[in-house]
Amino acid sequence: MRDLKCAELEGAADGWGGASNRADAGRDSIDKQLMNGLRGTQQGEAADAAVARLRQLSRNFQYVYTECGLLRTALNSLAHEMRAQQRALQEALGDADALKFTVHADGSVTYPEAGEGLIDGKPLPGGTATGRGLPGLLPSSGLVAPNPHAAKAQEIADRVEKAVRTATEIDWRYTRILRKLKAEEGLKVPDATWTDTATDAAAVRGAARGYLKDAIPHDASAAERKAWWAGLAQEQREEYLAVYPDQIGNLDGIPAVVRDAANRDNLQLLIGKLEGRDDERAETQLAGLREIDRQLNDNRKPPMFLLGIGDEGNGRAIVSYGNPDTARNVSAYVPGLNTSLDEEFAKGDLKRAWDTAKGAVKYDHSSAAIVWLGYDAPQTPDGLASLAVMGEERAERGGRVFNGFMSGLVATNENEDPHLTAIGHSYGSRTVGAATQRDGGIPGVDDIVLVGSPGVGVDHAEDLGVGNDHVFVGAAEHDVVTMLPSKQQAAVGVAGLIAAGPLASYVAGDLADQGDDDLWFGRDPASEAFGARRFPVREGPRLIGEDGVSIGAHSQYFDPKRDAVSADSIALIAAGRSSKVKMEGPR
C-alpha cells in the first residue's frame, strides 16, 4: 500500500481513454462523412447494402468507445479511491515515525519503554499493538500504570489496519468490475452484447460515484451547469460522457451537441437494458427507442438532436430538429393525453416537430423545433372516453420541469436575443399553462401557441405572461377536446355520464359547452373572453361519422397535408413571423 504507484493506474486509464477517443473519431467519420457522402452520390441496392454495413461498423465503434471509456473511468476511479487510503496510511506512518514507533509489514506497531512504574519508578516496558484490538501490553490491574505510548500506538495500528482493509475491499471490488469488461469475439455487436454493456455501465457508475457523479451539479441553475461543463478539462468531459451519458444528456444547461452525443450513447444502453426484460412496459418503450434510433440514422434535414432520453415513468424523449443553441428561433412542443415513449410517439409526435421545423425554416433558415416529452402525460386506457382522469397534478409537475428545460435553452443559445415559442397540444396546453404560472413564467418565451386545448388553467390570455397579442390558438370545429364541458357542467349530469367522463357528456349533447366559455380546465382559449389571437384551422372529421368514432380533428393541427393552413400558421409563429399569420374571429 505504501509503495503503490497510483500514477501507473492513471497511465493505463489514459491508454484506454486514447482507444476510446479513436473509436469515437472513427464513428464520427463514418456517420458524418462516409454515410452522408454515400447517400448523396449513390443509389440502388449496392449503395443501400453499403450504408447498412457502415451503420454496423459505426455501431461497433460506438461499442468500443463505450467499453474503453468504462475501462478508463474504472481505472481512474480505482486510483482515486486507492490514493485516499494511501494518504491515510502515510499519515499514520508519519505519526509513528515522529514518535519513534516501528510499524511492521503486518501493520503492527512497536513502541518503546516510557513512563514510571508505581512501585519501583522504573520505565515501563514497551510493547506491540496490532490493528485487531489486541495491544501487546495491557495493565494487569489498577496498580500498574500503562505505558503512555500504548494508547497512541494502538490508535496508529487501528488506522493502518483500516486503511489496508479498505484498500483490499476496493481492490476486490474493482477486480470484479474489470474482469467483466470484455468484448465478445467477432466483428458484430449484437443486442445481447449491449445488454451486457448496460450492466457494465451500471457497475462502473456505482463504483465511480465519489469520483465523478457526486460532482454533477444537479441542484444548480442552468447557467451554473453550463459554466461547470465549460470549466472541466477535456479528459473529465470524456469520462462523464462515457460513464454518465444518462446524467449529462438530460442535464439542462449542457450544450445541445454534448447532450446529443451523450443521449445517442445512452440510447444504446437503454435498448440493451430493456432487451433483457420481457414485460409489456419494456417492450413498448423498446419499440419507441428503436424507432428513434432508426430516425437518427436517416440523415434528416433539419438534423436531429437528441436532447433527452430515459425510461423513467412513461418514458422521456426530447428531440430537436435543428440545433437549438445556434438557431435564432426555437419552438418547444409539449404533447398531451396518452403520450408516452412508444412507437406511436416516435412516429407521430416527432413528425409534428419535424413538420414545424421544415415549415419554420422556409421563413427563417435559423430555426429549430423541439418535441418535449419530459413529463408523464395522463394515460387513459379507453382513449378519450375517460377524460375525467385528467387532473392537474401532472400538468403542474410537468410545467416545473418544462421551465427547467427552457431555462437551459436560454443559457446555451448563442444568439443575443433568441425568439422562443412554447407550443401546447391537448393536455400539453394545460402543462404549458401551468409553466406560465410559476415564478417568472416560462424562461425566455416570447410566443405561446395552444392547439386542441381543453383549457390552460387561466381565464385570460394576459395571464400567460407574454401579452395577449403573443398568445395564439387553434381550435378545430369538430375537435371534441376543445369543447368539453366544464367540471361544473359535468357535475350536473346524470350519474352514469359523470362516471363515463366529460366525453360521454359531450356525446349526450345536453352537457356540452353551452356558450359560457368554460372548458374542463378553465375558459376556452378560443373564446372572445379569453382574448387570444385565433388562427384558422380545418374543421376536421366529425366525432361520429360514417366510419364510426373519429378523433382525427384533434390530431391534424401540425400536419401540412391534412391542415396546411394550421401547420403553416404554427411554422410562421415559430419562425418569429407571427405578423404574417391570418387570423379569424373567436368562437
pLDDT along the chain (587 residues), means of 10: 91 92 89 79 85 85 88 90 92 93 92 76 84 49 65 91 91 88 73 78 82 88 97 92 92 98 93 87 95 91 96 96 98 94 96 98 97 92 52 91 98 97 96 96 97 93 96 93 65 44 46 55 90 93 64 89 96 97 91
The pTM assigned to this predicted structure is 0.82
Separation in Å, CA 488 to CA 318, 393, 505, 571: 36, 19, 12, 36
Rounded Cα distance, 429 and 137, in Å: 78
Q: Which H/E stretch holds residue 305? A: strand 304-310
pLDDT of residue 133: 46
pLDDT of residue 315: 96
By C-alpha distance, which of 95, 80, 77, 81 is closest to 160? 95
Rounded Cα distance, 135 and 118, in Å: 21
pLDDT of residue 142: 44
Sign of CA pseudo-dihedral 183, 186, 189, 190 = negative
Query: 3-state class of 75 per DSSP?
Result: helix
Rounded Cα distance, 221 and 389, in Å: 34
pLDDT of residue 464: 97
Q: What angle do CA 437, 443, 449 make, to 5 degrees?
A: 70
Rounded Cα distance, 473 and 466, in Å: 14
What is the grid cell recorded at 275?
432487451
Q: Which residue in the block uniquely carries the three cell numbers 428545460?
A: 405
Residue 423: φ, ψ to 5°: -120, 125
Angle between helices 6-29 and 45-98 (to 10 degrees): 170
pLDDT of residue 143: 44
Instruction: Note the helical H segments in 181-255.
Output: 191-207, 222-231, 234-243, 245-249
pLDDT of residue 382: 54
45-64: b (≥16 Cβ within 10 Å) or e: eeeeebbeebeebbbbbbbb
What is the grid cell recorded at 437?
404560472
Strand 329-334 versus strand 419-425 pairing type:
parallel
Rounded Cα distance, 212 and 232, in Å: 12
